[in-house]
Amino acid sequence: MSDTVEHPEPRAPFITGPRVVLMMFGFGILMVGTLWVYFEIKTRPFRDLTEALAVEFPESRPLVQGGQERLNDEEKPVVLRVLVTVTFDPQDEALFQKSVDRIQQLCDEHQDLSLYEQLEIHLIQRRHQQEPIARATIRDL
């Protein structure tokens, strides 16, 4: 009687080092492409307005969003929301009103406001190592 056990030939692993590296690159490219498409879908409708706000208010990092908070809630208004960082104190009534009027004028020039029911404007002054000062207003369109 022979006690020899036959061992099958070891198979080369299906996922080798170069394949793992290629899959990682492919995954990275897929994620970058997905983020780019998401960014385009979310910001393209407001890009002209965002650029106009950046020219009007230098170093303001404007953010513009639009739509309805909950799509299935008919009672929620469709809002165009504009957030602008400013260098002055937004609690100053005269500067606040002047800026809000100018922002509304830019919105009217660069965005179709007939699609929205409200214009929500937020002005924020960011202060070094202190709490930011924020003020907002909502205007019916």
The pLDDT assigned to 3 comes to 66
Distance in angstroms (rounded) separating the CA atoms of residues 141 and 138:
10
Whether 55 is covered by a domain: the verdict is: yes
Whether 15 is covered by a domain: the verdict is: no
Whether 4 is covered by a domain: the verdict is: no
Give 86's contacts (C-beta < 8 A, 6+ positions apart).
57, 60, 99, 123, 124, 125
DSSP 24: H
Bridge partners, 139 (sequence order)? 119
Whether 63 is covered by a domain: the verdict is: yes
Quickly count: other Cβ atoms within 10 Å of residue 51's Cβ. Answer: 12
Whether 120 is covered by a domain: the verdict is: yes
DSSP 127: -
* Residues 92-140 pLDDT 10s: 999 999 999 999 999 999 998 888 999 999 999 998 899 999 999 999 9
* Residues 5-14 pLDDT 10s: 777 777 767 7
Can you give the residue range of the structural domain that contains 116?
46-140
Determine which helix (DSSP H) or strand (DSSP E) holds 61, and give its type and residue range: none
Quickly count: other Cβ atoms within 10 Å of residue 100's Cβ. Answer: 20
Bridge partners, 85 (sequence order)? 124
Distance in angstroms (rounded) separating the CA atoms of residues 124 and 126:
6
Bridge partners, 65 (sequence order)? 81
What is the number of structural domains in the chain? 1
Indicate whether this model's pTM tops 0.85. no
